[in-house]
Structure 1
């Protein structure tokens, strides 16, 4: 039978979304290949991976409701020293506040293997928050599943690697054997009334229509049988995904989401995207997944995760706001509190230029930029960072800063209240300005560091017998505010 005969026998039905008649898609069945398909034309290994195109375009299909899920305590712990139980609970509390009353951070996933991990899970569950929901992650083994049953979780993630790299080379199975093994564990999960979240590892190197779609179709059959939700997490484990229109699957993020939703019939609300940043595409790919039909984007705080890291959770907070036009109750000032907690309590150094949370993310150093910023901060600040992140914009001090620039730096860096702020006429500012002029008169060409300025300001305050912030009100009067 040729393809035209097959096509002519398929039923025609009306698509209620676009009001067009469509021919029903054929069912996708497992292609149980004898040898692994590793897409050597795209992933030659001895060369840089290639991004081919076939110009097949799929439509935008963003769900009405989209949200964030968190993997800070799972994938985020695989690349750093483990958090203490107390740190996990603290961060979980911050997540609850950040997600807001509408639960924009829908869930957090946890390891269950150590006593410390389980203690943290119990303490987080004791908080009684509706969101983020406490969920777990296990390998596809019945031994791991016992841990989930013991704790009494409603949902667990299960590792179901889907590329032939993993099925043939790591698991030493065929596609059919892998599928049957995964389905047996998932069925046992359903028998216990627990909702499985299937982590399709390495999906951007998988045979989408030869394995992924047939597997997801089987999962949807199980969901219908047990009447328990089964989530599909598309994991871009190696960061190979691209968001370019017309790119070829399995590298095409739009193509993957389209296949899972349209051809495997997985509802928007049950699809998640989990990205890695190996090719600097974690954020753009995650946003693309939302745009093409994925309700959930999985992320970790500050992008901390395996190798180059995961999609940064704070980035997706602001991606959501840009797409939807509001924050839907999220408290973005908590992001700054979390950054400070990581620096001070955990001892984790956030790179200075990290967007939204780095020490210098809204610091202007160029003299011409500083001049514009002092006149109107909108010229060189991405948005009202003081309002949304409690981080006022700062002008770095250089030979072009002048008295006003130095006064601005002191007021913003020390976060002085209006009544305590210094003006460009204050003795303190003039002392600092004299030192700055001497530095550049001596041949300096670089901007001054925060540490240098703090030292000079401390020395000047001691010399003048004053303090910043009005803690010594009589002496502080010398600041001539």
Structure 2
């Protein structure tokens, strides 16, 4: 104890006793944490009540994987679609570039064409990075294109090392280190994707591996990033939960024991257990500067952490949007729907068609009196999405007029009121529906059909 060095933590301003160095534990049989992950049962969440302190960095940011992990789970985007989305990510990230990077495949000519066209934009943010196969030919390609960084897969759980790669931990580590060194030799900064970290041996493999990566960074004077990949969505944010499932435990370990600076740590989460957003926020709170996301959460299986979710998590944690243009989120949702043919599920927060639509009669009454009662924030200001009240038998003339004005985004001089012939005719139709025994609210499509038909009869036009 007496010989272990004490050093100042400049973030907490506290003296800390350095932990011992963790060496690779080269086991003969894989540690698959069968006590936590019994395959024929639901996974277990265990606790040891070891609490780690909050450690949020001064700067936090978002990185994008829409064109990489997002694109793996759907038909490939066309080149012009990628360029359009990239333009919008630039606008969304604002002047401070809160959306810091966007990663691209380089496998095909079409992939590379999209990269070249995006690079021609000349944006500082999102910086264009790549995802490649770990070989010298691809490293040279990254350098030739003019990128400074690339992602490299370094699977870290025994599930992957033993069962997929058919290696021991020592063999895997030596293989990974030789590949990373090869990347550094070409002058490219490697971003190490530690796949399946939430089922890995943190102290027996991950920490020793990160210590070796930090030595390489010191040797080559080139940043080596760590992306902590919760590939199966097993991560949890509960205080006192045990690693490898504890998100804060993993981040704490990477920083305190692995010596990885916060600005070189990213969290990449999946949503298999509905925890992608919460886990990403937790990674920020406990020391990771970056969270890796995709638009609308589109990604493998249940998807990635949605970019739009983390934009609003950022604002809640920092008390400011820092210049991010959140109206772009709505534009992107509309573009995906109309141009790409991908419709976001209706009740998805921020982007779903019904995310700020009030349907219950008693709620609608309150919302018509003051929208703050049942709206999360000024959705018109931040998302160009005025709050809507669904029409039912309790809506009345005022409710129908409100629906028409907000759905069609009518300017003050074109708005209708309860005395409008259009509103009165629609109200008569609504009453007839419920007199016939209907009990459900009316859908947008039904109302649009009736309103369109009535407008033609009345010789008027509603321009949305």
TM-score, normalised to structure 1, is: 0.95
Distance in 1 (CA, whole Å) between partners of 2:147 and 2:317 is 33
Counterpart of 1:406 in structure 2 is: 400
Structure 1 residues 341-380: aligned runs within 5 Å: 341-380=335-374
1:164 aligns with 2:175: no
Distance in 1 (CA, whole Å) between partners of 2:71 and 2:279 is 22
Which of 197, 205, 217 aligns to 1:203? It is 197
Counterpart of 2:41 in structure 1 is: 47
Over residues 5-41 of structure 1, what are the superposed CA-to-partner deviations in whole Å (9 max), with x where a residue is unaligned? xx34423445454454443211011111111110010
1:121 aligns with 2:109: no
Aligned CA distance change for structure 1 residues 264 and 457 (closer, same or farther; 3 Å): same
Over residues 99-133 of structure 1, what are the superposed CA-to-partner deviations in whole Å (9 max), with x where a residue is unaligned? 01100000000011111101001111111100000
Structure 1 residues 13-162: aligned runs within 5 Å: 13-162=7-156
Distance in 2 (CA, whole Å) between partners of 1:131 and 1:365 is 40
Counterpart of 1:473 in structure 2 is: none
Aligned CA distance change for structure 1 residues 34 and 118 (closer, same or farther; 3 Å): same
- Is contact 1:190-1:196 (8 Å) kept? yes
Structure 1 residues 49-448: aligned runs within 5 Å: 49-448=43-442
How far is the alpha carbon of 1:463 from its aligned partner? 1.6
Distance in 2 (CA, whole Å) between partners of 1:22 and 1:330 is 37
DSSP-derived class of the 1:10 partner: coil
- Is contact 2:237-2:248 (8 Å) kept? yes
Counterpart of 1:474 in structure 2 is: none
- Is contact 1:76-1:304 (8 Å) kept? yes
DSSP-derived class of the 1:343 partner: helix
Counterpart of 1:10 in structure 2 is: 4
Distance in 2 (CA, whole Å) between partners of 1:355 and 1:362 is 8
Aligned CA distance change for structure 1 residues 18 and 84 (closer, same or farther; 3 Å): closer
Over residues 211-260 of structure 1, what are the superposed CA-to-partner deviations in whole Å (9 max), with x where a residue is unaligned? 00000001111111111111100000000000000000000000000000
Over residues 307-349 of structure 1, what are the superposed CA-to-partner deviations in whole Å (9 max), with x where a residue is unaligned? 0000000000000000000001100000000001000110111
How far is the alpha carbon of 1:147 from its aligned partner? 2.9
Matched length? 464
Unaligned runs of 5+ in 1: 1-6, 471-481
Distance in 1 (CA, whole Å) between partners of 2:217 and 2:447 is 62
Distance in 1 (CA, whole Å) between partners of 2:286 and 2:239 is 11
Aligned CA distance change for structure 1 residues 387 and 33 (closer, same or farther; 3 Å): same
Distance in 1 (CA, whole Å) between partners of 2:10 and 2:406 is 55
TM-score, normalised to structure 2, is: 0.98
Distance in 2 (CA, whole Å) between partners of 1:338 and 1:13 is 48
Of stretches 133-142 and 95-104 in structure 1, the one that deviates more from structure 2 is: 133-142
Distance in 2 (CA, whole Å) between partners of 1:208 and 1:145 is 28
DSSP-derived class of the 2:174 partner: helix
Structure 1 residues 456-471: aligned runs within 5 Å: 456-469=450-463
Which of 446, 450, 453 aligns to 2:447? It is 453
* Cα-Cα RMSD: 1.2
Over residues 240-284 of structure 1, what are the superposed CA-to-partner deviations in whole Å (9 max), with x where a residue is unaligned? 000000000000000000000111111110000000000000000
Aligned CA distance change for structure 1 residues 402 and 197 (closer, same or farther; 3 Å): same
Counterpart of 1:476 in structure 2 is: none
Unaligned runs of 5+ in 2: none
Aligned CA distance change for structure 1 residues 139 and 366 (closer, same or farther; 3 Å): same
Distance in 1 (CA, whole Å) between partners of 2:10 and 2:311 is 32
Of stretches 454-463 and 148-157 in structure 1, the one that deviates more from structure 2 is: 148-157
- Is contact 1:370-1:395 (8 Å) kept? yes
How far is the alpha carbon of 1:369 from its aligned partner? 0.5
Distance in 2 (CA, whole Å) between partners of 1:154 and 1:14 is 32
DSSP-derived class of the 1:233 partner: strand
Distance in 2 (CA, whole Å) between partners of 1:40 and 1:379 is 48
DSSP-derived class of the 1:96 partner: helix
DSSP-derived class of the 1:468 partner: coil
- Is contact 1:367-1:401 (8 Å) kept? yes
Over residues 126-158 of structure 1, what are the superposed CA-to-partner deviations in whole Å (9 max), with x where a residue is unaligned? 111000000001233334334323323110010
Counterpart of 1:477 in structure 2 is: none
Over residues 352-411 of structure 1, what are the superposed CA-to-partner deviations in whole Å (9 max), with x where a residue is unaligned? 101000110000000001000100000000000000000000000000000000000000
DSSP-derived class of the 1:107 partner: strand
